[in-house]
Amino acid sequence: MSVTYEDDIDRIIKFVADCNAKFEDSKCDIRKSTLGGLGVFAKTEIGQGESILTLNKSSIFSASNSSIANLLCDNDIDGMLALNMAFIYETTVFKNTSHWYSFLRTIRFHDDQGRLNLPPSFWSANGKKLLEGTSFDTLFDALVPEDEIIQGFEIAVDLAHKWNEEFGLEVPAEFFHIDGKQREKDYKLKLERFISVAYTLSSRGFEIDSYHETALVPIADLFNHHAMQPDLKFVSLYDVCDKCGEPGMCKHLIAEEYLEAKEQEKYTPATGGADTAAIDDDLINKLENNLEDACSNKSADDEDGDDDGIQNPDECVDLVLKNDVSQGQEIFNSYGELSNVFLLARYGFTIPGNLYDIVHLGPDFMEILRKDDRHQEKVKWWSQVGHGLFCAWYAKMRQEEEDEEENEDEQNEAQSDASHPETDSEIEEESDEESDEEDGLKSWLSQLYIDFSGEPSPSTWALANLLTLTIAQWNTFFSQKSTLHITDSIINEEKLPFLAKTDNLHAKKMLSKLLKDKQLPSLTDSHAPRGAGVTDAMLQNSRILVQSEHDILDRCLKRLT
């Protein structure tokens, strides 16, 4: 996790003030948090709906408003690679001439001892041992270095030297100059610096709009994460022109509409050149008038703006309280409903008792299958046919149950004349997220896990039930016996509910043994890997993640027994 020092607080607040932004420093205090690093606390009671921070989008830092924005655009560099390069140039080449330098210099990509802030995929061999066998390793394969960021680094190096040759732009030597005499060593050093910046910015970036994409927002990045009870919502108008960032009509939209009209004209029967020209002129005049009206309104808004410099809300980002906060309370934002695996891989921290943690059992089932040839036929059918059939049946069954519950809820609400307008959208949003997540998981092994409460997933129960079937029970699963290849056999769907059973003693026994045999790292002081390449932060985060998985296993064993 990136660090902002207490000495940086005044510098950040001054930068925000110089930008004519609105930060409620009379109601909020930035100081050390018990979670580590800095946090934002309420000096007094603050009510729901109040804006803690309002910044003009011109004050945030993105690749699109950086000093090398045009070069990045000309070379089709966008996303996090663009932000990474923009940050590096702004802090090493342009420095004091940059509008954002006093803010950007407070973003540290190494600790106070100079050790780089790296994701686990680029930890040392000793460091990676801390997470071997966890879901971080077996399900997400997140200990393997990502090719994409290495490719991004090489692109950045090539562009830096190209821009130097073509325009005389200084090469950020500490990042992009590779010493030819000790190339391998220097390449590794510069790559790790580049990755450290990317990892740090990833932990502090906000999605702003279609023009700025991900950007750095001063003060907003100091609020700590709370998955279950965040106090804030981040507000920004996303639908803006992706070329200039203007909300509403702009010259780019005028040009696009004009070109669309000209294209449509090709397929419209001609009625005379004069009429066609008149249509084009009318269209252009109309669009230009719309643009002038928009600009006039914007100018009027500017003149009527408050003294604090906040003018058009559409051109601002806001942090707004979702609920009341009490005096002395730390005010939390949320990065989303994310497991410790994702938090550590992308943001560099973990939280104890994370309700979104799971324990992956894929390799443990594979070990059972490797040791017992009797399961081969069942596993072949499950991997090629059974898993898909079961998931489709289970999803249909769950949908029917949810529909019944929804109908009951609607009847109860009608009877009590009570309503909760957000419920349907929340359910739909959660369902969509789960659907997207499932679509991204390609292997049936990825569905074998235990959730935070200690409950095995439906696929885990199904496979355990399947593997403990007797020969007679196995044969009754098929409507056709005999000469057909097992993967071509037709399943008896009436038997599918058996796979969803959670009270099969044989399945429970199999799962209990599997959990007791599962190997997770032991990170007690006497056993934890130490030595070169293992920092206190790495050890602390790994302990939290591993302890969470141990706790999940214990809860599951209690359920099974």
Residue 267 and residue 167 share a domain: no
Residue 66 and residue 56 share a domain: no
Residue 288 and residue 209 share a domain: no
Residue 189 and residue 80 share a domain: yes
**92 domain residue, yes or no:** yes
Whether 270 shows a pLDDT value over 60: the answer reads: no
Residue 75 and residue 9 share a domain: no
**458 domain residue, yes or no:** yes
Residue 232 and residue 260 share a domain: no
Residue 402 and residue 483 share a domain: yes
Whether 35 shows a pLDDT value over 80: the answer reads: yes
Give the distance, in angstroms, between the CA of residue 550 and the centroid of all CA atoms in the same chain.
Answer: 25
171: which DSSP letter? P
Question: What does the pLDDT average to over 147-164?
Answer: 96
* pLDDT band for position 276 (cuts 50, 70, 90): very low
Question: What does the pLDDT average to over 100-111?
Answer: 91
Residue 293 and residue 263 share a domain: yes
pLDDT of residue 180: 85
**256 domain residue, yes or no:** yes
* pLDDT band for position 280 (cuts 50, 70, 90): low
Question: What does the pLDDT average to over 271-294?
Answer: 52
pLDDT of residue 447: 93
* Domain assignment of residue 289, given as a range: 251-303
Instruction: Give the chain's domain count.
Output: 4
Q: Which residues pair with 330 in a beta bridge?
A: 41
Residue 415 and residue 321 share a domain: no
Distance between the two ends of the chain, CA-based, in angstroms?
39
**286 domain residue, yes or no:** yes
Whether 136 shows a pLDDT value over 50: the answer reads: yes
CB 199 within 8 A of CB 328: no
* pLDDT band for position 286 (cuts 50, 70, 90): low
**182 domain residue, yes or no:** yes
Helix (H) or strand (E) holding 317: strand 316-321
Residue 322 and residue 294 share a domain: no
**424 domain residue, yes or no:** yes
Residue 474 and residue 424 share a domain: yes
pLDDT of residue 432: 47
User: φ, ψ for residue 145 (rounded to 5)?
Assistant: -55, 135
485 vs 554: which has the higher pLDDT: 554
Helix then strand count (H, E) for the chain reads: 21, 11
* pLDDT band for position 413 (cuts 50, 70, 90): low
Whether 274 shows a pLDDT value over 70: the answer reads: no
Residues belonging to the chain: 561
Tally Cβ neighbours within 10 Å of residue 530.
Answer: 11
CB 181 within 8 A of CB 105: no
How many CA atoms lie within 13 Å of 548's alpha carbon, on the beta-carbon side? 28
Residue 75 and residue 15 share a domain: no
pTM assigned to the model: 0.80
* pLDDT band for position 410 (cuts 50, 70, 90): low
**Strand residues in 340-410 grouped as ranges (E):** 359-360
**527 domain residue, yes or no:** no
308: which DSSP letter? T
CB 155 within 8 A of CB 77: yes
**Hey, what are 42's tokens?**
């309420």
Q: Distance between CA 9 and CA 45 in Å, rounded?
A: 22
> In percent, how much of the chain has pLDDT > 90?
53
pLDDT for 499-531, tens place per residue?
A: 999 999 999 999 999 999 999 998 776 566 666
